[in-house]
Structure 1
Amino acid sequence: MTLPRRLRAAGAACLSALFLIACGDGGEPQPESSGKPRVALIMKSLANEFFINMAAGARAHQAEHADRYELIVNGIKNESDLAQQVALVEQMMASQVDVIVIAPADSQGLLPVARRAVEQGIVVVNIDNRFDEKALATMDLRIPFVGPDNREGAYRVGLALAETLEPGDEVAIIGGIPSAFNARQRAAGFRDAMAEAGIAVVTEQAADWEQAKAATVAAAILNENPALDALLCANDSMALGAVAAVRQAGRRGGVSVVGFDNISAARGLIAGGDMFATAEQYGHQLAVFGIEYALQVLEEGTDPADRKTPVDVITAAQL
């Protein structure tokens, strides 16, 4: 792997070296580089509490290690804005960052620009949503993934739910963006758990990670399946929408809801009995895990490899 240039021209203009949150609209003029490695964190929707927490964790980590690296924090306006995320990567390439840590909006659509970044000598580390492994192989591209096993996490949440159900009970899955690897893996994990428990998955529909869309999808599912026992949602934002639909349908207490991410709103619903469980993937540290590994690759010339991070099931008993 070609390592990036560590020293930049003293007069080169750059984007933020410290705590800029950009949404693809550009930024204010920034100071010259200090010569320390410059790390760009590129996330998905900054409207999602999960990514707000991720950004906060990264900023706190940089503040504690200000002598080691500089940080630029970027995010897009919604989960599916692929074009904006591509533009952010291109901006970071133009500003000659040393590292890009990215939670891609799409598992394949970001790969061409990610490859250009690697070819430029930037260390690229993938977090949250794994790049498509077959596409990586086809492109002869090695980008390490640092994050949890989404299938395992969803499987464990599903098993916890299954302990409250009976064989033959009916559930539905509300998934994320179908092209996203983590969406597919979480849905697969839910299916694994339901099959093992003998519980029927009557339908599986996408709500693209969005709360409002999930509320609409869940309402239709509830209307079409009067015997439904649970809604398994691939993230907590969609679980919030599902809870709203369950309440609107007058089926609170009769239809369980699970999610994935352990955002504060979900914890509140679990404590109040409106949600049964979620998966904690330590989102506030997820970017930190990626940044630390990327800096190791940068400093030591480490051959990049995937790294698995923890995931745990959260129910009322764990609150």
Structure 2
Amino acid sequence: MTEQSLHRRRFLLGGAAVGAGALLTACTSNEAPAQNNAANVANAGANSQPGTPVTIGFSAPAADHGWMAAITKNARAQAQKFSEVTLNATEGTNDVNQQISQVETLINAKVNVLVILPFDGKALTAVGQQAMDAGIQVINLDRVFDTPLAYRTWIGGDNYRMGVNAGNYIAQQMKAKNIASPVIGEVAGIDSLPLTQERSKGFKDALARQGFQVGPRVSAQFTPESGEQQTSNLLQSASKLDALWNHDDDQGVGVIAAINNANRKNFLMVGGAGSKNAMNLIKSDAEPLKATVLYSPSMASSAISLARLLGQGKGAGDFAEHEIPAEITTYSAVVTKENVDKYMDVGFDS
């Protein structure tokens, strides 16, 4: 996401809005019963029942690492839960022109709704708008298009909040250990990407609010190989380290390998995204990895559910509004040993 779009993403989907229905009582006088002006829930209990058949077109980048593979896997699994949903999924590609062509094929096939996670949001904006102009509603998944005219609903993660929550957790742990001036390292993702910049900014801001700062920092490529190489460099340059945040659990496989190779386990590590591998390590409590901050590919499951509702003209269950929201930001929960079992179901394979 761009910095401009980040501010528009601050809508966090919290608790459901529950409206109270009118209480009907027997009336023996001539007085009219008092009116209840509370908003009635528009869709309570109606969404789980099979409805109008819906064909959903799905397009995403190539499943070349664990998180992206889980996006497509989750989308397919969620579609199978609904007997009236047909999923028309294209083969994942990192070629922008090929993805545009695939989406155009889905438009020509007249699918009811499209779910698109673009390889490049800017590059696929025009084809998203083309679908909307053709009367096909679009769910824009995570990587945002340049204009809201290209989608009906956006759903995705909060990169800035991910950094904030990682920073807050580390600051809390440092204070609990009475470490006044901790050395806090960072293994970022690809620095040229806005998502990495937003994560790093959130991390820096959260630490600054607690009187701390980011120390040794390297940038990897979201791969285990780059994670291992860059973490080795960081460890060689930092003889003392109290805490480390790694942005991505896929590259975290290499980060942990570098830590083990250097025999450096006397510090706290926090991961990012929420892989099953990371959660198992957190649960075992045998490694420096003590927490991971979610950026869960379960958002793809939710995108399919939203597409189904759009195709059937339904709103979000238990919401007072008759339409689903225009924007939904998933929350970056901090997964620790204390709550890991709660989140294992959304963990993905690294």
Asked which structure has the greater CA Rg, the reply is: 2
TM-score, length-scaled by structure 1: 0.74
Q: Is the 8 A contact 1:103 1:127 kept in 2?
A: yes
Q: How does 1:267-278 map to 2 (within 5 A)?
A: 267-270=279-282, 271=284, 272-278=286-292
Q: Which runs of 5+ in 2 are unaligned?
A: 1-51, 315-322, 341-350
Cα–Cα, structure 1 residues 57 and 141, in superposed 2: closer, same or farther, change >3 Å? closer
- Mean CA deviation greater in 233-242 or 115-124: 115-124
1:119-139, Cα deviation, whole Å (9 max, x unpaired): 3333221223344xxx327xx
Which of residues 244, 265, 268 in structure 2 aligns to 1:256? Answer: 268
Give the secondary-structure state (helix, strand or coil) at the position aligned to 2:338: helix
Which of residues 96, 120, 128 in structure 2 aligns to 1:114? Answer: 128
Shift of 1:264: 0.9
Which of residues 218, 231, 236 in structure 2 aligns to 1:223? Answer: 236
Give the secondary-structure state (helix, strand or coil) at the position aligned to 2:119: coil
Which of residues 199, 202, 205 in structure 1 aligns to 2:212? Answer: 199
TM-score, length-scaled by structure 2: 0.68
Q: Which runs of 5+ in 1 are unaligned?
A: 1-34
- The answer on 1:238 being equivalent to 2:251 is yes
Percent identical residues: 24
Which of residues 147, 150, 169 in structure 2 aligns to 1:136? Answer: 147
Q: How does 1:40-119 map to 2 (within 5 A)?
A: 40-67=57-84, 69-74=85-90, 76=92, 82-119=96-133
Which of residues 175, 190, 195 in structure 1 aligns to 2:188? Answer: 175
Equivalent residue letter for 1:168:
S
Q: Is the 8 A contact 2:267 2:288 kept in 1?
A: no
1:163-198, Cα deviation, whole Å (9 max, x unpaired): 222343222333334454433332222222221232
Number of equivalences: 275
Shift of 1:237: 0.8
Give the secondary-structure state (helix, strand or coil) at the position aligned to 1:125: strand
Q: How does 1:1-40 map to 2 (within 5 A)?
A: 36-40=53-57
Which of residues 137, 146, 154 in structure 2 aligns to 1:145? Answer: 154
Task: Determine the structure 2 residue equivalent to 1:8.
Answer: none
Q: Is the 8 A contact 1:238 1:259 kept in 2?
A: no
Cα–Cα, structure 1 residues 175 and 82, in superposed 2: closer, same or farther, change >3 Å? farther
- The answer on 1:247 being equivalent to 2:260 is yes
Q: What is the rounded CA distance, in whole Å, between the counterparts of 1:83 and 1:199 in structure 2?
A: 45
Structure possessing the higher relative contact order (Cα contacts under 8 Å, 6 or more residues apart) = 2
Q: What is the rounded CA distance, in whole Å, between the counterparts of 1:74 and 1:113 in structure 2?
A: 15
Give the secondary-structure state (helix, strand or coil) at the position aligned to 1:96: coil
Q: Is the 8 A contact 2:154 2:327 kept in 1?
A: yes
Q: Is the 8 A contact 2:184 2:215 kept in 1?
A: yes
Give the secondary-structure state (helix, strand or coil) at the position aligned to 1:65: coil
Equivalent residue letter for 1:268:
N
Structure 1 vs Structure 2 CA RMSD? 2.9
Give the secondary-structure state (helix, strand or coil) at the position aligned to 1:228: coil
